[in-house]
Copies of this chain bind each other. A is one copy, B any other.
Amino acid sequence: MKILIANRGEIAVRIIRACREMGLPTVAVYSDCDRGARHVRDADQAVHIGPSPPSQSYLRIDRLLDAARATGADAVHPGYGFLAENAAFARACRDAGLTFIGPSPDAIEKMGSKTGARAIATRAGVPVVPGTDEPFAAAATDRQIVDAATRVGYPLLVKAVAGGGGKGMRAVETPDSLLNAVRTARSEAGSAFGDTAVYFERRLIRPRHIEIQLLGDCHGTIVPFVERECSIQRRHQKVVEESPSLAVTPALRGRIAAAAQSVAKAAGYTSAGTIEFLLDEDGSFYFLEMNTRLQVEHPVTEMVTSIDLVHWQIRIAQGERLSIDPERALAPHGHAIECRIYAEDPDQGFMPSPGLIRGVRAASGPGIRNDGGVVAGYTVPVFYDSMIAKLIAWAESRGAALARMERALREYEVLGIRTTIPFFLWLMREPDFVDGRFDTTYLDQVLASRRGDSFMTLTEPEETELAIAAGLDAWWRATSGAASSSRASGSAWKSAARQDALRG
């Protein structure tokens, strides 16, 4: 089986690693700005599929199929994002005779509509967040909208049926802001997903985001895994994930996992997928949506269960039966936590910070896994999600995992651009985070309360050390004459000479 990876960045690298371990050749695809990307280096073959904007490359089904044809690939792994949850792509692969490493087009379609998925969950006997069962028709009157909101109750969320990542979503506290919120959400959803349909969901006050990873094979077996908690979100985007959750007891785990399994069975689900729930303060949980793909945060599950989800995706696609002990999948071993390292400047409101990466020294050592997607010399482009790596720490307890994560974050160096590492260093010492007192609103609240304070806090000695280092660097450049003063660094060749200079 030769696998074309219809993706880029760390997930493409992750999948190439799995393929290599299984002895399978790989085909990468790349856009203009990704010619020098790591996934292109690492794959056995690589095909250019167009200009940098995703709509002209990574989202072009025709070019991806052409690339598979030109390289003799017989399977496609979509990763996450881009076309991973696009039923038309899964169908086009199937029609072109390619194995799509993911669920069936039907399952993607069924679970892709948020209201459709809610209906499936309800029929499977799984509670959903109270809300409207059907999206509003474009012609719905203001009266119909207000009445529906009254039935659901306030506070509520207006959500796009085709939504994701917080797009087309608006919180409504009181009836007077309702109609305006619906209008905004519709217009945002229209431009983001080409679909203006929206619906209402009751907004829980302090919900935690709990999700169940599962695997389904082509022989009807579905295995649910220990939960992940992903409540640490910035503007509805997950930034830290962990497993297990402090808020889930073994008994509750069993119930949530069984609920997830029922929904997946009802959807006829195969491959890796995740069912997201909201967990209320009183311990009740509600189906939120299903992600019909591998998720960014899959490594935390791998680390507490020792099961390789990408290997299994491929084995399932090859027709293999799941041979995972269901009890083991639900019994977490230790604790794992993941930080998504983005090329963003946390001191500028998490503004993307693309640019040339001059050096990378990834954290390593005991209990540390780094799933990276970049190399020194690569320029982080402006066209895509800015995640450049995922850092995962495992330890016997949550406390030890946080301490290990902090150790690793201090080690991690990405030179030339700014990343979210300093933000995570701060978070690892935030009392409410450390004690597990958080819900999905926690991070936005605590960030707002900081009023833009810098994360680059320095002690007085550190500040002095930085001034000294910069002074010595400037002194060297001035005395060596080897580089003009506007160029801060010489070559590897020259650095030997510089060492001598500093010694002298």
Contact = CB atoms under 8 A, between A and B. Distances in A.
Interface of A: 13-14, 17-18, 20-23, 36, 42, 299, 302, 306-308, 310, 333-334, 356, 358-362, 364-372, 375-377, 395-396, 400, 403-404, 407, 410-411, 483, 487, 489-496, 499
Contacts of A396: 306-308
B356 A365 contact: no
A22 B404 CA distance: 9
- Identical subunits present: 2
A375 B333 CA distance: 33
A366 B390 CA distance: 11
Contacts of A306: 333-334, 396
Nearest to A493: B487
A362 B364 contact: yes
Q: Select the residue from A17, A310, A376, A396 with max chain B CB neighbours within 10 A.
A: A17
Contact of A410 (B20, B370, B492, B499): B20
Contact of A369 (B308, B365, B371, B404): B365
Given A306-B333, A492-B491, A493-B489, A23 B403 contact: yes
Nearest to A394: B306
Contact of A364 (B22, B310, B370, B490): B370
A21 B490 contact: no
Contacts of A491: 489-494
Q: Select the residue from A395, A404, A492 with max chain B CB neighbours within 10 A.
A: A492
Nearest to A393: B21
Contacts of A22: 403
A14 B366 contact: yes
What are the 6 closest A-B residue pairs judged by CB atoms, nearest first? A491-B491, A364-B370, A20-B407, A21-B403, A17-B365, A21-B407
A14 B369 contact: no
Nearest to A496: B356
10 contacts: A20-B410, A21-B400, A302-B366, A308-B367, A362-B362, A362-B364, A364-B364, A366-B371, A368-B369, A491-B492
A361 B333 contact: no
A371 B411 CA distance: 13
Nearest to A413: B375
A487 B362 CA distance: 28
A299 B356 contact: no
A275 to B, nearest CB: 23
Nearest to A10: B365
A365 B371 contact: yes
Contact of A366 (B308, B358, B359): B308
Contacts of A494: 491
Nearest to A308: B366
Contacts of A14: 365-366
A17 B372 CA distance: 21
Contacts of A367: 308, 369
A410 to B, nearest CB: 7
Given A17-B407, A36-B499, 4 more contacts: A23-B403, A306-B333, A367-B369, A368-B369
A371 B375 contact: no
Contact of A17 (B21, B358, B366): B366
Contacts of A307: 396
A302 B396 CA distance: 12
B377 A495 contact: yes
A404 B490 contact: no
A411 B396 CA distance: 29
A319 to B, nearest CB: 19
Contacts of A370: 364-365
Nearest to A22: B403
A486 to B, nearest CB: 10
A492 B358 contact: yes
